[in-house]
Amino acid sequence: SKIFLSSQDVAWEEKGAFTGAVAPAQLLDAGCTHAIIGHSERRKIFLETDEVINKKMKAAIKANLVPVLCIGETLEERESQKTYRVLETQLNGAFAGITAAEAAKVVIAYEPVWAIGTGKTATPDQAQDAHVFVRKQVERIYGKPYAEAVRVLYGGSVKADNVDELMAQPDIDGALVGGESLKADKFLRVIHFQAVLSR
């Protein structure tokens, strides 16, 4: 099957009394192959730091789960011209102490916080620019072959009516879909996107 099961979070401890937390082994037992780590809601609501996200990354990798690392800036950070600084800090924090071989499993999802659940979407050009920057940063950390191979997804109000132009961008490898995935007909359209250049 080409369909894989992912969790929306993962605990960094292998076992122990951590009520409400789901250990990597439990996710594997449930059939998960992937785990979303660092989603903006986890960062904001649960106050997850880059250090916590790094622990979760290491735990997922150790358990053979594919980490889907979410990074992105708030509206205030974008308007203050801090987008690239935020992305660099989040990437450095998440990948700290992770070898190139371990990082090879990671999928990165750029999710501009200001575009999540707001109806706002980054333009294809804005998304492409951010993805190019992400690739440059991981190239700095792990080298060019890794930067070319890593999958970088876009997440931020991906919808049936904007997916074609977003997926046409050369550095966008897929989508992290939120609300639109709850509407079967719309989600089916997202899955079967037709990459169309906006220019």
Provide the annotated active-site residues. Answer: 39, 111
15: left (phi > 0), else alpha (psi -120 to 50), else beta? Answer: beta
What's the CA gap between 32 and 89, in Å, rounded? 28
Phi/psi at 71 (5° precision): -135, 155
Report the b/e string of 10-23 with b at 16+ CB within 10 A: bbbeeeeeeeeebb
Q: Is 36 helix (H, G, I), strand (E, B) or coil?
A: strand
DSSP 98-158: --HHHHTT-EEEE--GGGSSSS----HHHHHHHHHHHHHHHHHHH-HHHHHHSEEEE-SS-
